[in-house]
Amino acid sequence: ALILKSKNIHTTQEHLKKIFDYVNYLKRYYIIIYYKGSFKNFDNTWESYKGDVAATEFPENFSFENSEGFIDLSKVFDDITNFRIAKSYHGGEGVEIFHIMIYLSK
> How confident is the model over 72-92, as a mean pLDDT?
89
The structure's pTM equals: 0.91
> Rounded to whole angstroms, how far apart are CA atoms 31 and 101?
8
Torsion angle of C-alpha atoms 54, 55, 59, 63, degrees rounded to 10: 40
User: Does position 81 have pLDDT exceeding 80, yes or no?
Assistant: yes
* Nearest by Cα to 33 from 105, 99, 106, 81: 99
pLDDT at position 27: 93
pLDDT at position 79: 78
pLDDT at position 24: 86
Phi, psi for 35 (deg, rounded to 5): -90, 120
The three state secondary structure string of the chain is CEEECCCCHHHHHHHHHHHHHHCCCCCEEEEEEEECCCHHHHHHHHHHHHHHHHCCCCCHHHCECCCCCEEECHHHCCCCCCEEEEEEEECCCCEEEEEEEEECCC
User: Given pLDDT bands bounded at 50, 70 and 90, which one contains residue 28?
Assistant: very high
